Homo-oligomer: A and B are copies of this chain.
Amino acid sequence: VGRDPREEAPTLAWGIDLGGTDCKVGIVDSSGRVRAQTGFPTPREPAAAVAAIERACRRLAAEAGVRIDRAGMGAPGPLDLDRGVVIQAPNLGWRGVPLRDMVAAALGCPVVLDNDANAAAYGEAWVGAGRDATVLLLATLGTGVGGGVVAGGRVFHGARGLAVELGHQVIVPEGRLCSCGKRGCLEAYFSGHALDEQALETIGTRDGRPTHKELFERYAAGDPLVAPWMEQALDILARGVAAAGVLFDPDRIVFTGGLTRSWDVFGAGLVDAIVRRMGPAGPQAQGIVLTELGGDAGIIGTAGLALLDGGSRPRESS
């Protein structure tokens, strides 16, 4: 007697990683392998973004000759996970966009929506740099600084889905103004945005646009204009990550995001500072590592959330 094939676990899912600048879409199998992927600049209008996502998903599936019945999606937050709504995405200018249901309607299948950092953390915990960890803490060092925790195979969402806002710990009371309105957040010191601001104040521009890459190069060369505040910024980053280590007691801390391209300049010192401030909780130095999935963590993690049961609360829609 044959089994009804519909009762078997699905083995493929779309993974959709919607960023403030670019959107990536992939087909991921249940072993975490990316079968196919594509990308495009994120359209500014929600309806246009959803249409572009639908076209990309359908094209990938047609080219692969497969039928897919579920999707995972990551988006910049804050999100309302229960309702599947982007509360606010400053880089896109979105407010109150019911993204999960829009994409589910377009694709005709259930969609799991999560915060982009949580999705990437889930990917790394599933098949990346944290696949053998019990508790993984991901730190994303990009334009902003995000965080995600996966414990025992589940994303830690907090009460309202706002966990883990690594970059918005106040490290310097009454310090620099942060984009969130508070003063002295980690993100106001060490992030792509903060480093660009510091570069303008300190070394001016080159070809009209300073880059954090040049800053890290100057820091590596011992430039006295750059070293003091870079050391301060790195110390603030270390303190924020160490606090998360003391509180969550992860056995793996994974760094990802554009700024990690300069990891060889600041990584070793950062790891030392984190370990010193954590004490017995958290991992030792060998447990603090770079991403293994890189830019694919988002599509792998979101697909994983759709294929496995990685959520801690109802977040599906069809």
Contacts and interface: CB of A to CB of B under 8 A. Distances in A.
Contact of A135 (B158, B246, B250): B158
A280 B244 CA distance: 18
A168 B246 contact: yes
A289 interface: no
Given A133-B159, A151-B312, A173-B235, A277 B182 contact: yes
Contact of A281 (B151, B158, B252, B282): B158
A281 B162 contact: yes
A157 interface: yes
A82 to B, nearest CB: 11
Given A170-B243, A243-B243, A279 B181 contact: yes
A87 to B, nearest CB: 9
A38 interface: no
Contact of A173 (B164, B168, B239, B252): B239
A162 B239 contact: no
A1 interface: no
A244 B247 contact: yes
A247 B163 contact: yes
Could you say which of A147, A164, A169, A170 has the most chain B C-beta atoms within 10 Å of its C-beta? A169
Interface string A175-190: 0000011100000000
Contacts of A239: 170, 173
Interface in A122-171: 133-135, 147, 151-152, 156-166, 168-170
B281 A243 contact: no
B156 A151 contact: yes
A263 interface: no
Task: State the majority secondary structure of interface residues on A.
Answer: loop
Contacts of A280: 78, 162, 180
A246 to B, nearest CB: 5
Interface residues of A, number: 47
A162 to B, nearest CB: 4
A281 B170 contact: no
Given A135-B158, A151-B312, A281 B168 contact: yes
A163 B251 contact: no
A249 interface: yes
Interface string A234-275: 010001101110111111100000000000000000000000
A281 B239 CA distance: 19
Contacts of A313: 152
Given A162-B280, A277-B182, A152 B312 contact: yes
A165 B312 contact: no
Contact of A242 (B158, B170, B252): B170
12 contacts: A135-B159, A151-B312, A156-B248, A158-B249, A159-B250, A159-B283, A162-B280, A163-B247, A163-B281, A169-B246, A169-B247, A170-B242
Interface of A: 78, 133-135, 147, 151-152, 156-166, 168-170, 173, 180-182, 235, 239-240, 242-244, 246-252, 276-277, 279-283, 312-313
